[in-house]
Structure 1
Amino acid sequence: MEDFKDRLRLGEFEASTPDSLNVPGTFVGVGVDDSWNLKKFKKKFRITVVQLEGREMEFDMIGIDCSLVNTLRRVLLSNVPSMAIEKVYMYNNTSVIQDEVLSHRLGLIPLKADARLFEFPSKTDELSGTDSLMFELKIKCTRSPSASRSGEGVDPDALYVNHSVYSKHLSWIPVDEQQRTLYTAKQVGPIDPDILIAKMRPGHEIDCKLVAVKGIGSDHAKFSPVCTAYYRLLPEVRLTAPVQGEDAELLKTCFSPGVIEIDEDGRAKVVDARYDSCSRNVFRHEHLKDKILMTKKKDHFIFSVESVGALRPDELVVEGLNFLIAKCDYFLLEEVGHLMQ
């Protein structure tokens, strides 16, 4: 019963025992108490950090429903704020990139600025050090003085100066004196200095000012603080019969590297099913498909987060959970207020 209720079984052409069986009270009729209560949830639920390195994080959420895991994913994508360029004041642009395309490219450059230190922009156009950052991009391409006049050579680096415009060419301009004392260019500037913005040739010039504000991903994807945020169920692979010799070698090739290994006796064994891609290639072989059982644990989620870089991925997860808590508190207060009327 537990396997039937808690696991998704992968067949050759289908996946059986869907999530609808996880609805509390589904198995009451057969004498199984699967009702939901907070005490049971607290005892079963846990979070385990598997990997935290640089901008990437992988952690397990165990004993939780898919709807709540997906809620966290959506919050990370759409509701955790970040800073991004919102307005571009174009004074001169003689490059081959149109003003609107150039402005769009500038808006997608991720910034280091911590959005928690800023307020959401006011409805007025007046800039403030508490809700805005200003940058300047002023660059002109010229021919290198050391370049051959005969035109020999095709290397742009040798022929031209400033022919490639990168994010490192953005200069931060403090909005007020308070901002000048609180931050430095390294703290609020572009995360990566080598993001290519445009290509130019002698005579081309770009002169513009940029204003960055605080926003959320549901308004525009440029405000999303994560590159990716996704989850998958924990795969499980079990051998239902011994497999050895050439069949063991063949079985090993049917799974992702590291899932199946061969022991000293030449028999196949499951080493680590966690990173199996669940391709189900084993079902292509008639003599092997009945010797393997592939399942996924329906309450064990492998959650992966890759940060854009302004905040660490673990900080983003905490911010997402804080947003959910605040939203729940808001609806509880609304419900209490409604009942008191």
Structure 2
Amino acid sequence: MLHLCQKADQSLREEREEEEYKMKINLLEKKEEKISFVVRDIPVWFANAIRRSVSEIPVLAIDTVEFYKNDSALYDEILAHRLGLIPLKATSYLAERDKCSCKGAGCSKCTVKIKLKAKGPCTVYASELKGKGFEVIYKDMPIVILEKDQELEAVCEARLGKATEHAKFSPGLIWYNSFPLIKEVRKAEKTIKVDKEEFEKIREGKSKLIPDLLNEAVECNGKFLKIEPSEKDFIFFVESFGQFTPKEMFILAIKALQQNLHELEKFLRKA
């Protein structure tokens, strides 16, 4: 009976801890390719872990290029680099090459074939990349200019990769700032003087200057406000390059973090 009571008490404590550490999220701004929101009651290491985990999201990008003709003013290497940075989106399931049944050799399950063919005079755009299993995000992105009678012909291979390997596999950016805590103080040594209107905006948390005033104090007519960074509340910014929506990107970053923690747990259990 005592054992059951102790177990119930432990379970209750765990539930209380879960409630205590349950994060709160408030949306600030939402656009097609960018969102910002406040996440409350999380430690700074967790916020930073989410930020870094965006580099663990698998993203499709051109990895190798074989040129058959290139009469343009750009060298093959420069063109290949430009092609690799064009944001692409897989339209069907694609395996990561190192996890594919082909064991990294490259096959239809893990590789997308893309063709590019153009003849000048013209500007070659990303929309001229042809093939199946992918979508060009920004079709009007220029690749190269061809003069009269100049030709360009190439065959590309695209695969899934992670930004930890190369920046071309990055789905976008996640960053955060500490949430500003605005306090009225009697006096401050070093201050930034602002007018009455701006002072009131800062007091109400509506001023656009607040992100640049962290760890600073402002003054107006003998009144002082100190702006301090919170240690548990953060403003997140998620900006997508188009392969995913900002919401999808944030969720995938959290899933990537969970997967890494799961792999670490498995390793430690075997150790």
**TM-score relative to the length of structure 1:** 0.65
Listed as ranges, the gaps of 5+ residues in structure 1 are 1-36, 143-161, 175-182, 242-247, 261-268
> Which piece of structure 1 moves more, 89-98 or 57-66?
57-66
Instruction: Report the equivalent of 1:59.
Output: 37
Instruction: Report the equivalent of 1:4.
Output: none
Looking at structure 2, the residues matched to 52 and 71 of structure 1 have their Cα atoms a distance apart, in angstroms, of 23
Given the alignment, which residue of 98, 101, 110 partners 2:87? 110
Given the alignment, which residue of 161, 170, 187 partners 1:224? 170
Looking at structure 1, the residues matched to 97 and 157 of structure 2 have their Cα atoms a distance apart, in angstroms, of 11
Query: Cα distance, 1:49 vs. partner?
Result: 4.4
Looking at structure 2, the residues matched to 41 and 278 of structure 1 have their Cα atoms a distance apart, in angstroms, of 34
Given the alignment, which residue of 99, 108, 113 partners 1:129? 108
Instruction: Report the equivalent of 2:7.
Output: none
Looking at structure 2, the residues matched to 277 and 135 of structure 1 have their Cα atoms a distance apart, in angstroms, of 44
Query: Cα distance, 1:284 vs. partner?
Result: 7.9
3-state DSSP of counterpart to 1:217 = coil
Instruction: Report the equivalent of 2:206.
Output: 272
Given the alignment, which residue of 164, 173, 190 partners 2:136? 190
**How do residues 1-341 of structure 1 correspond to structure 2 at under 5 angstroms?**
39-40=16-17, 42-50=19-27, 51-76=29-54, 78-113=55-90, 117-121=93-97, 127-142=106-121, 162=122, 164-172=123-131, 174=132, 183=133, 188-226=134-172, 228-240=173-185, 250-253=195-198, 259-260=201-202, 270-272=204-206, 276-279=210-213, 288=222, 291-338=224-271
Superimposed CA distance per residue, residues 260-313 of structure 1 (whole angstroms, 9 cap, x where no aligned partner): 4xxxxxxxx52536872233798586855x522222221001111111111112
3-state DSSP of counterpart to 1:291 = strand
3-state DSSP of counterpart to 2:212 = coil
**TM-score relative to the length of structure 2:** 0.80
- Verify the 8 A CA contact 1:119 1:131 in the aligned structure 2: yes
Listed as ranges, the gaps of 5+ residues in structure 2 are 1-13, 187-192
3-state DSSP of counterpart to 2:244 = coil
Query: Cα distance, 1:38 vs. partner?
Result: 7.9
Cα 1:38/1:316, change in 2 over 3 Å: farther
Number of residue pairs matched by the alignment: 248
% identity of equivalent residues: 23
Looking at structure 1, the residues matched to 180 and 31 of structure 2 have their Cα atoms a distance apart, in angstroms, of 23
List structure 1 segments (4+ residues) > 4 angstroms apart after TM superposition: 122-127, 280-288
Query: Cα distance, 1:95 vs. partner?
Result: 0.5
3-state DSSP of counterpart to 2:97 = coil
From the CA coordinates, give the structure whose radius of gyration is larger.
Answer: 1
What is the letter of the counterpart of residue 121 of structure 1?
R
Looking at secondary structure, tell me which structure has more strand per residue.
2
3-state DSSP of counterpart to 1:328 = helix
Cα 1:165/1:49, change in 2 over 3 Å: farther
Looking at structure 1, the residues matched to 162 and 216 of structure 2 have their Cα atoms a distance apart, in angstroms, of 44
